[in-house]
Amino acid sequence: MGTMMEKKKTLRCPKCGSKKIVPEAAFITGYKYACEDCGYVGSLVIEEYNEDDQD
């Protein structure tokens, strides 16, 4: 069997576009996030998936 490439997920703030998004609380329905740059707090974030991540 071949190896399955794992996609790396990056979270971005919907207000300012920053990558400094941290989970603030977890609920049954999902997470609530906070942006360290602009102070945004909410459950809506932008998720980006990178297939060819080279470290």
Supply the DSSP string of the chain, one letter for each residue.
-PPPPPPEEEEE-TTT--S-EEEEEEETTEEEEEETTT--EES--EEEEESS---
For residues 21 and 44, give the distance between their C-alpha atoms in angstroms, rounded to a whole number. 11
Burial environment of residue 21 by CB neighbours within 10 A (0 to 12, 13 to 18, 19 or more):
buried
Residue 22 lies in a domain: yes
What are 1-55's pLDDT values in tens digits? 444 556 788 999 999 999 999 999 888 888 999 999 999 999 999 999 987 655 4
Q: For the chain, how many structural domains are there in total? A: 1
Residue 43 lies in a domain: yes
- pLDDT at position 6 is 65
Residue 1 lies in a domain: no
- pLDDT at position 54 is 52
Residue 32 lies in a domain: yes
- pLDDT at position 18 is 97
Residue 55 lies in a domain: no
Residue 35 lies in a domain: yes
Residue 17 lies in a domain: yes
Domain that holds residue 37: 8-50
Rg (CA), the chain: 14
